[in-house]
Amino acid sequence: MLLRIEGASLLTCALVGYAWVGQSWWLLAALILLPDLSMVAYLAGPRMGAASYNAAHTSVAPFLLLAASVALGSYAVAGLALIWLAHIGLDRALGYGLKYASGFGDTHLGPLGRAGEKSGVRFCRV
């Protein structure tokens, strides 16, 4: 539960930051699901899919992009970084964690869906 609250906090901070930099809410709506295109790599197998998904769903790259936006003085780049962070926060708040190579449903937050219910594992499930 704590990791889901942390995700909700990241989402909230990213949205507040996005409002502060004054970028278009239409842009946020259009791009919020863009990191999920990384799931296409699952067509190449679970190991490739997990690597691609995890690369797009860790906060390191968007924080580096946010730092670059400060160095460049670019609100547009900051907006993109904050959209990316908002997506990651939303995923974590909903219980979608980083993936293991064993399958899409196996995450660092616990198993997704019915697999988590059947296994009795209650890492961060409500």
The span from the CA of 116 to the CA of 56, in Å, is: 24
pLDDT number for residue 113: 60
Whether 77 is covered by a domain: the verdict is yes
Residue 89 is predicted with a pLDDT of: 98
Q: How many domains does the chain have?
A: 1
Could you report the per-residue pLDDT of 48-94, keeping only the tens digit for each?
Answer: 999 999 999 999 999 999 999 999 999 999 999 999 999 999 999 99
Residue 125 covered by a domain:
no
Q: Is 110 helix (H, G, I), strand (E, B) or coil?
A: strand
CA 83 to CA 86: how far, in whole Å?
5
pTM of the model: 0.85
Domain with 73, as residue range(s), is 2-119
124 within domain boundaries: no
How far is the C-alpha of 50 from the C-alpha of 126, rounded, in Å? 24
